[in-house]
Amino acid sequence: MDAGVTRTQGPGAGETVPTALTVFAWLSVAAAVVTIALKGLAYWLTGSVGLLSDALESLVNLAAAVMAVIMLQIAARPPSEEHAYGFSKAEYFSSGFEGALIFLAAVAIVVAAVERLYVPKPLQQLDIGLLISGAAAVVNLIVAQVLIRTGRRRNSIALEADGHHLMTDVWTSVGVIVALVAVLFTGWQWLDPVIAIGVAINILWTGYRLLRRSALGLLDRAVPASQRAAIGEVLSRYEAQGAKFHALRTRQAAGRSFVSVHVLVPGAWTVQHGHELLEEIERDIRVAVPNAAVLTHLEPVEDPTSFLDGELDR
């Protein structure tokens, strides 16, 4: 409240939520190791570049999961003199790193698929390969749902991104399995590399979305529209009591949010009266926006200079 005092709630206030989330990130690491082994075995048995593409994406999953563990540990660090707003943005590096790895995996898949188109190779033991690939898809499906739900509930972009990537891996596996079944019944060997190229395109789209989300987060994007609307409802209730507001600013930093607003009240109010109002406003905003650090600034409504800093760019 005013004078640079920030009231916080959530990870920045002594809790260790990001540290607890690393348990789920380690679950992703374990799932990646298991699926790499299964898909690698399936590729070795069948010679399918579709399964190879699936295995390569699991390698990306492993690297991304390890990165998520490291970044979540960094995000758990408490604020310091040089990083007064904490380290929660470290999660964006994990998401961006994962997006970059996805692009590299897609290029490797396309190269392998194009080579197979020019030099066809009969696939072998497709029945066993399909069973193994299906088992890997089930493992990814279960872990992906756990990560996505936990990420949304705990507001962790790193976990949610990892979960969505695993779901992409699930759909990739489904596509590859469908292609291999088609090859098994039709004998059209070219379906395998063609599906692999389709998988690569899908992976590229996922990588683009992750990179875009990470970039927007690092550029201090505002909190979601639903939370801005909730803040507006809070301020509207206090406007009915005679207070006015301007210079409302919000920004998202992975699992944390930051809100600042100027509160204009009658100049005749006592300091105690103004202080009590700001405490109530900050409390209600923290309820509307979980894990938010709220900064308020008190100004007399009669003073023209109070309105000089009402714009976003002061």
3-state secondary structure 252-299: EECCEEEEEEEEEECCCCCHHHHHHHHHHHHHHHHHHCCCEEEEEEEE
Residue the block writes with tokens 């395109």: 201
Q: Which of 186, 218, 250 marks a domain boundary? A: 218
Across residues 34-42, what is the average pLDDT? Answer: 81
Let me know whether 266 and 155 are in one domain. no
Across residues 210-214, what is the average pLDDT? Answer: 77
Residue 6 in any domain: the answer is no
Let me know whether 24 and 122 are in one domain. yes
Q: Is the pLDDT of residue 7 over 70?
A: no
For residue 254, give the CATH number of its domain. Answer: 3.30.70.1350
Q: What percent of the chain has pLDDT over 70?
A: 84
Let me know whether 230 and 214 are in one domain. no
Residue 241 near residue 266 (C-beta atoms within 8 A): no
Residue 189 near residue 55 (C-beta atoms within 8 A): no
Q: Is the pLDDT of residue 208 over 90?
A: no
Task: Give the per-residue pLDDT at 146.
Answer: 87
Residue 7 in any domain: the answer is no
User: What one-letter code names the amino acid at 54?
Assistant: D
Q: For residue 123, what pLDDT band results from cuts at 50, 70 and 90? A: low
pLDDT tens digits, one per residue of 225-254: 888 999 999 999 998 878 899 889 898 877
Let me know whether 243 and 205 are in one domain. no
Let me know whether 78 and 181 are in one domain. yes
Q: Is the pLDDT of residue 14 over 60?
A: no
Q: For residue 2, what pLDDT band results from cuts at 50, 70 and 90? A: very low
Q: How many domains does the chain have?
A: 2
Let me know whether 150 and 37 are in one domain. yes
pLDDT tens digits, one per residue of 254-311: 777 889 999 999 988 999 999 999 999 999 999 998 888 899 999 998 888 777 776 6
Residue 119 in any domain: the answer is yes
Let me know whether 163 and 182 are in one domain. yes
Q: Is the pLDDT of residue 125 over 90?
A: no
Across residues 54-65, what is the average pLDDT? Answer: 73
Q: Which of 197, 218, 239 marks a domain boundary? A: 218
Let me know whether 62 and 37 are in one domain. yes
For residue 40, give the CATH number of its domain. Answer: 1.20.1510.10
Residue 144 in any domain: the answer is yes
What integer best gives the mean pLDDT of the chain? 77
Let me know whether 212 and 114 are in one domain. yes
Q: For residue 121, what pLDDT band results from cuts at 50, 70 and 90? A: low
Strand blocks (E) in 190-240: none
Let me know whether 168 and 301 are in one domain. no
Residue 314 in any domain: the answer is no
Residue 312 in any domain: the answer is no
Let me know whether 233 and 190 are in one domain. no
Distance between CA 294 and CA 99 in Å, rounded? 32
**Better pLDDT: 284 or 40:** 284
Q: Is the pLDDT of residue 54 over 70?
A: no
Task: Give the per-residue pLDDT at 8.
Answer: 41
Q: Which of 218, 249, 273 marks a domain boundary? A: 218
Residue the block writes with tokens 């960094």: 74
Task: Give the per-residue pLDDT at 5.
Answer: 39
Domain enclosing residue 95, as ranges = 12-218
Across residues 143-158, what is the average pLDDT? Answer: 80
Let me know whether 112 and 141 are in one domain. yes
Backbone angles phi, psi at 123, to 5 degrees: -90, 150
Q: What percent of the chain has pLDDT over 90?
A: 11
Residue 149 in any domain: the answer is yes
pLDDT tens digits, one per residue of 75-106: 777 777 777 777 777 777 777 777 777 777 77
Q: Is the pLDDT of residue 18 over 60?
A: no
User: What one-letter code names the amino acid at 45?
Assistant: L
Name every residue whose Cβ is closer than 8 Å to that of residue 61 and which is 6 or more positions away in sequence: 28, 31, 32, 35, 140, 162, 165, 166, 169
Across residues 49-63, what is the average pLDDT? Answer: 71
The partner residues of 295 in beta bridges, in order of sequence, read 260
Burial class (CB in 10 A: 0-12, 13-18, 19+), 6: middle
pTM of the complete model beyond 0.85: no
Across residues 115-127, what is the average pLDDT? Answer: 66
Lateral strand order in the sheet of 244-253: 244-253, 256-265, 292-300
Q: What are the b/e assignments for 217-255, b being 16+ CB within 10 Å?
A: beeeeebeeebbebbeebbeebeeeebbbebbebbbbbb
Residue 3 in any domain: the answer is no
**Better pLDDT: 28 or 127:** 28
Task: Give the per-residue pLDDT at 55.
Answer: 73
